[in-house]
Structure 1
């Protein structure tokens, strides 16, 4: 109990009302209520152990500089802290050297049983090992505690070694590790501790949802093998009917290779059964040294992989191995502690969970969530939404600019490459700024192919967007070729309409160069805007406003721009051009015909694919929305449950402005959907 109360990095906080200003820093131990004292630690295990020792009767009551005080069954004892041997993932233990009240020098150490038991020379070693295995089978996190008494001569040597190592200018880390190894030996085993690490809510449901979505889950942990397997079974990562394969305690490359071949043969023989693989850190190092391909082949044929006794750098190495595999999968790492930081930074996407392990994982992650169960919503709902939005956004920008540039390129063949522009300079400037920008912006913010609750209840819909299916070379080529085809229709349709010696005016007047360019531009603006309207499934009043408003704005702007003589313009080539174009019935007929010619094949393609080869997502679009509170388009910008996040107030304000929420009712009305 003394070892647990003294070998830690716990800090104490006291209620201000119970503290005496300018008094003895340990005065709280002599009469103040223990309820005013609260422990804080970077590790929840340390905090739990110190609190447990306090309940039994050995309470850590404070630290002032180099002095640590404990209260043992009401008796105060002060220890002088001489040295702290910090924890590191290679040693897997931490130690403190103290001077006891009687003047003796004492080492307390705690760590994993694999880091303590081999260096213990006395104590109940076998009995402790049995206790550790028993605790691990119950899914508890275990630590082993030991001590060592130093004679005055031994402590002088220890102090010299530590001082020399810490003041070394070269190879400091190596010298410190050598000094630590010299000190932490010949230990007297004191016992073992076990801390119950309860699973968060809905962990099993979340892992099952990820599996149904086609996401392969690997668990990388530093826990003992028995603990890791017990937790994997309880959280649903391993099933009771799953055949568990083990790659443990391999001592040589040949032994590791033979075990891997044995596992590969076993998988081929039992190809119908689901397999789970358990690997420890030492065996993993051997497997990755010379047998990487064989190891990856075994892992690919397993439904679930569990890596235990992993150091932080080993976790990052496993993520890097998956990233560089021939399939080039997209990796996502989830962690809540400082030992997960390297893994989170190595993965394509890093997610930190805000928990009791501190904020290091959150600070180094791409996204932060409060609970593990929110991962399902983050991926299956928000991930689905934003992937579709961004995929369409990128390809639509290429499409509309191909439509914009190609007619100018074709026009040069008819103007003898005289550098005469097809469009007016104002149209060139405003095409991407005003005429076609708002519809795709609103689409990329609010589009929802499927109701959010349907996405959460049917994780398999995530498979429709897996492997970058909507942003592949094939879909990108389709959008690009579609842009070229539409551009050819714009240009040559207008050219055929205005052919040589053809008048479209009642007075026999001919259309000029600027009228031809304006006709091409008008058809282009209308077509690219309606093309995005065909791609939109989730219609709000904002979508209607920017879609039809963009077309109306173009016509109104062109009428004002070409219908008034502006004194600040040096030349006004477009004066009365647009009015003249709209006064021709043939021009109106040509605009309608060309727009229909461009969009009708798209409509036919969508109808055929929806009825002949529908995807799971398209089938789910016809399902009725659940009769529950809907996740609105504004809430889809947030990652917290029920929209309760930092942007919830902004979302509520925007919902009220959009007319989809009333001031007195919090339930949002479902918007119309175009199936």
Structure 2
């Protein structure tokens, strides 16, 4: 039996790994495996030329290649090697550099044994996923440590490179001058053939030269290429490329996805890192932001979940600014009418509960459950992802719109209440005048109803939870105000709100003012939405219209749980009969085990046998 003596660990710079063993006869042997670029130059004997030809043939077939070599040690050589290894491994300073020097000293004068070609099959639906990413406006770069021929073959098979694409190469350059000249020629060629799609192939050595003094020219060439392939990349080079893209003038959002230890530095460098749980260990998964089981799940992660959560977060942030602008501005305007005496417009309890109870739940449920387009539509139409690219929903213009809308509503709240229920208007038939706290309560009531209705206008996906919290928030406000103003509370220093809300609701003119002001506030927003949808509809809005016509709407969300069929079947069928939406005999809601998008996601009910032509 062979006895293991030493292990020379893999190093991405050396691109090889070795072991020193003792044969049954007592002979000391070194076995080395690694990339042909690191093994062949260190081999002095064996079928070197023949092996090089075989390696190139394997690479053209898309196989991952390795070369294997060995070396015999004399007792004196092994004694010296053991001494050097011990000194390097016990060094307190510069241990890694000293180990690298010793490894290079050991791994020389090798005798080549041969080469291996291992087929690394692509996962299913890789080509479809990459094509979907391209349709969504996402530029895909492939960073790999594979040989040049292997990387190009795999890129062609997975759809990263098309057969009709003009492949440009920046490989095997040893000096800055030749690399710069090649970059200039590539840039000129791209400008001359601007109609044709170009793909760029660059290896690690040429990339290091290009980034040293010609970074701007290199990035210009890459931007004009539809696809970029970087081969023979060390892990740190992968991270450097990601950092180069992050710091480019366009400031793009980068996403790195990988399944091996070589991808960890790249995953950590990108804005978003995704690890694939594969056979190469869990290092990538442990260092990533998100983990998925297959590469094909990336499309659902981006186009469905990413799309949903971006819309939810964008609306959540801007709605909070909007409703607080509506809340504070009337208080500011009131100071011009109270001689800047710091008199509050709202009662202190209302000031406390506005953001805690009265307006918090609708936007919370929206940010958890909103689906403005059906998931199947988002998955099947990657182009819809372009509508949220470049932070379109959370940029300056949308934020400015929400802020201006908040000020507009606040002015309507205050001056509308002031004009309709002014100082010369009697509240009750007995001549009792309109008081300070009643005026503030009227403004607050209009505000709570309007901001809640505004959230309802933004909601596309209505479940029973949305209905409960939206209308329940308004009902809770009325019930709380009646209860709070209908009792004399002994622990309060003043009873300013006693019977105020009851008197407000007993006035017909107050009800008229509430309805008129709420309609006036929301009318402008509704008109704007209607005009934009008809004059300048986005791809998402067109998809919503198509979706509405195909019979997928809020009724599809009524049964959201696996055991919810029996609970809401009767209600759903009754509503469908009343609306004339579908023939009950043709509808069957069930979980579809063969569904490609939701086989492992039971949070959304799928339509398995619904005939859309009957809807």
Q: Which residue of the partner structure matches residue 613 of structure 2?
A: none
- Mapped contact 1:634–1:655 kept (Cα < 8 A): no
Query: Is residue 361 from structure 1 mapped to residue 295 from structure 2 by the alignment?
Result: no
The aligned counterpart of 2:518 is 595
Q: Residues 89 and 197 of structure 1: is their aligned pair in 2 closer, same or farther, counting only changes over 3 Å?
A: same
CA distance in 2, matches of 1:105, 1:89: 26
Task: Please report how far the alpha carbon of residue 658 of structure 1 lies from its aligned counterpart in structure 2 after TM superposition.
Answer: 7.8
Residues 87-107 of structure 1 deviation map (CA, whole Å, 9 limit, x = unaligned):
010000000111111111110
Over 3 Å counting, the alpha-carbon distance change for 1:356 and 1:134 in structure 2 is same
Distance apart, 1:504 and its partner CA? 2.9
1:584 is aligned to 507
2:452 equivalent in structure 1: 529
Distance in 1, Cα, partners of 2:566 & 2:170 = 58
Is 1:266 equivalent to 2:189 in the alignment?
yes
The equivalent residue for 1:47 is none
When residues 525 and 631 of structure 1 are mapped into structure 2, their CA distance, relative to the original with a 3 A threshold, is closer
- Aligned match of 2:236: 313
Q: Does 1:164 align with 2:84?
A: no
What's the offset of the Cα at 1:417?
2.2
Shift of 1:666: 3.6
Rounded Cα–Cα distance in structure 2 between residues aligned with 1:488 and 1:180 = 76
Match of 2:424 in 1: 501
Note if 1:191 corresponds to 2:114: yes
Q: 261, 268, 272: which one pairs with 1:345? A: 268
Q: Is 2:135 the partner of 1:212?
A: yes
Cα contact 2:547–2:553 (8 A) shared by 1? no
Aligned residue among 259, 277, 291 for 1:336:
259
Match of 2:377 in 1: 454
**2:325 paired residue number:** 402
Distance, in Å, in 1 between the alignment partners of 2:73 and 2:563 is: 68
Deviation at 1:184, TM superposition (A): 0.4
Deviation track 1:114-164 (CA, whole Å, cap 9, x = no partner) reads 010000000000000001000000001000000000111111111111111
Q: 2:428, 2:539 → 1: CA distance? A: 53
Q: Is the 8 A contact 1:82 1:99 kept in 2?
A: yes
CA distance in structure 1 between the aligned counterparts of 2:90 and 2:310, rounded to whole angstroms: 53
Deviates more, 1:513-522 or 1:498-507: 498-507
Residue 424 of structure 1 corresponds to 347
Alignment partners' CA distance in 2, 1:165 and 1:484: 70
Structure 1 residues 290 and 426: alpha-carbon distance in aligned structure 2, compared to 1, 3 A threshold: same
| TM-score, normalization by structure 2 | 0.91
For 2:107 and 2:56, locate their aligned partners in 1 and report how far apart those are by CA, in whole Å.
Answer: 23
Which of 189, 206, 210 matches 1:287? 210
* Structure 1 pair 112–394 and aligned structure 2 pair: CA distance change class (3 A): same
Task: Return the offset for 1:540.
Answer: 1.6
Which residue does the alignment assign to 1:10? none
Q: Identify the match of residue 112 of structure 1 among 35, 42, 48.
A: 35
Runs (4+) of structure 1 exceeding 6 A deviation are 625-635, 653-664
- 1:457 CA displacement: 1.2
1:12 paired residue number = none
Q: Which residue in the other structure is 1:375 paired with?
A: 298
The SS at the match of 1:333 is strand
Alignment counterpart, residue 389 of structure 1, candidates 309, 312, 316: 312
| Partner in structure 2 of residue 130 of structure 1 | 53
CA distance in 1, matches of 2:330, 2:82: 82
Q: 1:377 to 1:81 in 2, by over 3 A?
A: same
Whole-angstrom distance in 1 between the partners of 2:277 and 2:552: 28
Shift of 1:203: 0.4
Scaled by the length of structure 1, the TM-score of the pair is 0.83
2:601 matched residue in structure 1? none
- Do 2:62 and 2:149's aligned partners in 1 also have CA atoms closer than 8 Å? yes
Q: Unpaired runs of 5+ in structure 1? A: 1-77, 636-649, 671-675
Aligned residue pairs, count: 579
Distance in structure 1 (CA, Å) of the matches to 2:82 and 2:411: 84
Distance 1:496 1:305 in 2: 65
Contact 2:462 2:557 in 1 (8 A): no
Cα shift readout 1:581-629 (whole Å, capped 9, x = no counterpart): 1111111111111111111011111111111111111111122477999
In 2 relative to 1, CA 658–142 (structure 1 residues): closer, same or farther, beyond 3 Å? farther
Deviations 1:422-466 (A, max 9, x none): 111111111111111111111111111111111111110110111
Residue in structure 2 matched with residue 558 of structure 1 by the alignment: 481
What are the superposed Cα offsets for residues 452-496 of structure 1, whole Å, 9 maximum, x if unpaired?
Answer: 111111110110111000000110111011111111111111122
Supply the distance in 1 between the matched residues of 2:111 and 2:606 (Cα, whole angstroms): 69
Match of 1:235 in 2: 158
Residues 571 and 214 from structure 1, CA distance in 2 versus in 1: closer, same or farther, beyond 3 angstroms?
same
Query: Does residue 198 of structure 2 align to residue 275 of structure 1?
Result: yes
Sort the Cα spacing of 1:244 and 1:82 in 2 relative to 1 into closer, same or farther, 3 A: same
Change (3 A) 1:348 1:669: closer
Q: Distance in 2 between matches of 1:123 and 1:661?
A: 77
Give, in whole Å, the separation in 1 of the partners of 2:554 and 2:397. Answer: 34
Pair 1:302–1:159, CA change in 2 (3 A): same
Post-superposition shift, 1:416?
2.2
The answer to whether the 8 Å contact 2:16/2:35 transfers is: yes
Give the whole-Å Cα distance in 1 for the aligned partners of 2:172 and 2:572: 61
Instruction: Verify the 8 A CA contact 1:452 1:631 in the aligned structure 2.
Output: no
8 A contact 2:589–2:606 mirrored in 1: no
* Residues 52-79 of structure 1 deviation map (CA, whole Å, 9 limit, x = unaligned): xxxxxxxxxxxxxxxxxxxxxxxxxx11
**Residues 656 and 562 of structure 1: is their aligned pair in 2 closer, same or farther, counting only changes over 3 Å?**
farther
